[in-house]
Structure 1
Amino acid sequence: MLSAFGWGAVAAGSLFVGALLALARSWRKGLVGGVLAFGAGALISSVAFELAQEGLELGGPGPVAAGLAVGALAFFFADRAVDRIGGRSGGGAGGLPLAVGALLDGIPEQAVLGIGLASGQGVSVALLVAIFVSNLPEGIGSASDMRANGKPARTIVSLWAAVSVVCVLATVGGYALADVVGGEVKAGIDAFAAGALLVMLIDSMVPEAHSKAGNRAGLVTVLGFAVAAALSNLT
C-alpha cells in the first residue's frame, strides 16, 4: 500500500509541479504544445502496449470491449459538462475546465498504476512516464489561464494540490481493489482507462498540441510514442 501511495504521488505530483511552474514564469505556447505532443505520443503507446494488451491477457475481448465503451462514454459526457462550465462562465472559467479534465483522465490512469503494483508486476515505467509527461502541460496551461484571469496564487495552488491528492488516492484505491476482484474486472478497469484516454487524446490533447506547436507536433508525438514503447519493452 505504501508503494502505491509513493508511486501515485510521483505520477500525480507533476500536475502540482506544472501549476507551480506556471506561477513561477510565463511559458511559450510552442514549448507547452511540444510537451503536450510528447505526452500524447507516450499515452498512445501506453494505451496500446500497457492497457489494452494487459486487459486482453487478464480478461479477454469481452471485458475489454465493455470497458472501452464505458470509459469512452464516461469521459465524453463528463467532458461535455466541463465545456458547459467554461461556456457559462466565459473567460472567467480561467482554466477550470482543464483542471477538471485532468481529474477525469487522472483517476483511471492512476488506478491502473495501483492495480499493476498489487498484481506483483511492479510499476510500469512506460505508463508512469506517460502520465507524468502528459500531466505537466495540463497543470501549466490551466494555472496560466487562472493567473491571467486574476485568480489568487493561493487558490490556484490549493486547487491543483487537491486534484493531485485525489489522483494519488485513486492509485491506492486501485491497489486495494485489485485484491478483491478477478481478472475480468481488472481487464475492464484497464480498458475503461484506455477508452477515456483515447477520447481525451483525440478531442483535447492532440488538437491543443497542434494548435500550440504547429506541424512540429506530429514529429514530437512520434518521439513520445517511441520512447514510451521502448520503456514498455524494457519492463
Structure 2
Amino acid sequence: MSPLLIVISSTLIAGLTMALGAVIAYLERIENKWIEEEIRHGVMAFGGGALLSAVALVLIPEGISHLSPLTASISFIIGGLSFMFLDIFLKKINTPAGQLAAMLADFIPESIALGAAFATGNSNAILLAALIGLQNLPEGFSAYRELNATSTYKPQKIIMLFSLMAILGPISGVSGFLWLSEYPEAVSVIMVFASGGILYCIFQDLAPQVRLEKHWLPPMGAVLGFVLGMVGLMMTT
C-alpha cells in the first residue's frame, strides 16, 4: 500500500472511532447507577490518559526536534490559549456541542501532523495514528452524551454526524502529506500547538469530571491509557 493510501486509511479509521464512541454511548444500558457512573468516569479517564500519552510521547518529542525553546514555548502557550478562548466562546453562546468542538479542534491538527509524519517516514507515525483513534473513542462517547442530553439532537443524527466528520481526518492528513512534509518547522509548530490545546482540554474538561467522591477506580483509566501509549512507543523503537 502506498504511503498516501496509508495516510487516508489511518486517518479515516481514527476519525471513525468518534462514531464508534457514540455508538457505544447509544447502546449503553446499565441499570445500576453506581456501575454506570464508574464506567462513564473510567472511559473519560482513559481518554485523558491516551491524550496525555500522545502529547508526552509523540507530539512534544517530535515537535520540539525542529524548534527553538522559545518558538516551542510560544506555540505551546498559544495552543492552550486558543483552546481556552474557544471554550469561553462556546460557553458564552451556550452550545451543547462543547465536547464536539474540542474533539475536532485536536483531531484536525493531529491529522495534519500525522500526514506529514508519514511523508517524512517518521517511525512514530503508526503510533500517533493509533493514539488519535484511542483518544477519539472516549471523546466521541462523551460528546454523544453531551449532545443527546438535549432534545435538539436525535441519536441517529448524532452518530451520522460523527461518521461524516471522520472525513476531515483524510482531508487534513492528505494536506499534511502533500504540502507540509517539506516544511518540518511548520509541522513541528502544529504538533506543539495541538499539544498545548490538548493539555488544556485534559485539565479543563476531562480531569475534573473523572473524580467521584469515595470512588478511586476511575482515575486508573488515565493510568491505563498512558501505559498503552508508552508500550506502543517501546514496541516501535
Match of 1:29 among 27, 33, 37: 37
What is the rounded CA distance, in whole Å, between the counterparts of 2:52 and 2:144 in structure 1?
Answer: 25
What is the rounded CA distance, in whole Å, between the counterparts of 1:33 and 1:187 in structure 2?
Answer: 33
Alignment gaps of 5+ in structure 2: 31-35
The more displaced of 146-155 and 191-200 is: 146-155
Q: CA RMSD in A?
A: 2.3
What is the rounded CA distance, in whole Å, between the counterparts of 2:42 and 2:116 in structure 1?
Answer: 30
1:14 matched to which residue of 2? 17
Question: Aligned in 2, Cα 1:20/1:100: closer, same or farther, shift over 3 Å?
Answer: same
Residues 1:163 and 2:165 are matched in the alignment: yes
Residue by residue over 1:54-96, the C-alpha shift from the partner in whole angstroms, topping out at 9 and shown as x without a partner, is 122223323322221221111111111122233xx5xxx3xx2
Percent identity for Structure 1 against Structure 2: 26
Match of 1:44 among 33, 52, 73: 52
Residue pair 1:29, 1:212 contacting (<8 A) in 2 also: no
Matches within 5 A, 1:140-179: 140-150=141-151, 151-179=153-181
How far 1:14 moved relative to its partner?
0.6
1:97 matched to which residue of 2? 98
Residue by residue over 1:91-113, the C-alpha shift from the partner in whole angstroms, topping out at 9 and shown as x without a partner, is xx3xx222122111211222221
Residue by residue over 1:121-162, the C-alpha shift from the partner in whole angstroms, topping out at 9 and shown as x without a partner, is 255344333322222222222223433423223421232123
Question: Aligned in 2, Cα 1:5/1:214: closer, same or farther, shift over 3 Å?
Answer: farther
2:218 matched to which residue of 1? 217
What is the rounded CA distance, in whole Å, between the counterparts of 2:29 and 2:53 in structure 1?
Answer: 30
Q: How many residues align?
A: 227
The more displaced of 27-36 and 3-12 is: 27-36
Residue pair 2:48, 2:222 contacting (<8 A) in 1 also: yes
Alignment gaps of 5+ in structure 1: none
2:70 matched to which residue of 1? 62
What is the rounded CA distance, in whole Å, between the counterparts of 2:130 and 2:209 in structure 1?
Answer: 20
